[in-house]
Amino acid sequence: MKYLFHHNAVLLLLSSMLTLFWIQGKAQSLSPEDIKVQFVKDWERAKDYTVDYLNSMPADKYSFKPVDSIRSFAQQMLHLALDNVNLISVATGQERMFGKRNLDTSPGAQTKDSVMYLVTASYDFAISGLQNLDVSKLGEKTNLGKYQETRFAWILKAFEHQTHHRGQTTIYIRLLGIRPPRERLF
């Protein structure tokens, strides 16, 4: 009986190892081009999701702030747009489309039409930059102020940043009694 147990354990171990080797042999690795395609796909999805947020907020509520000490809905979205451009430009080497403008505090940028235009333009900037990115440079380090990261890391940080600020506006929308857009994972 002891022999049979030992024999079965060895067979199970060998079977598991062979299965693992077979799976690894069948698995495909991601190329830098595959990563670039996924980045573009995710940014296009994020753009559509953010446009859903922009459309869910009534035009007369873009100046809404849950409390006085934080940004308005428009300012949150303009901050998102500005840093889409700033962070992606560090990653891709593109010239920043907004220059040194501070959109958050620009009085002419606070309307729904202006916010919609600037936010969608920032996503188009990011998507275009990613589509034209030389993937062989993803490992290069670039600087933004005192921070130095790879181009790959700046792309991840840019995506995280826009997700964070869009997510913050969920509370703004809910406080006004509006149902926020459904999540878009795909």
pLDDT 10s digits, 13-32? 545 555 555 555 566 899 99
Q: How many domains does the chain have?
A: 1
Measured between alpha carbons, how far is residue 162 from residues 23, 80, 172 in Å?
A: 36, 5, 16
Q: What residue numbers bound the domain in which 141 lies?
A: 31-175
Examine residue 107 and state whether it is found in any structural domain, yes or no: yes
Beta strands in the chain (DSSP E): 141-144, 147-150
Q: What is the pLDDT of residue 28?
A: 82
Examine residue 10 and state whether it is found in any structural domain, yes or no: no
Judged against a pLDDT cut of 90, whether residue 164 lies above it is answered with yes
Examine residue 2 and state whether it is found in any structural domain, yes or no: no
Q: What is the CATH number of the domain that holds 91?
A: 1.20.120.450
pTM given for the model: 0.84
Examine residue 18 and state whether it is found in any structural domain, yes or no: no
Examine residue 146 and state whether it is found in any structural domain, yes or no: yes
Contact of 104 with 83, CB cutoff 8 Å: no
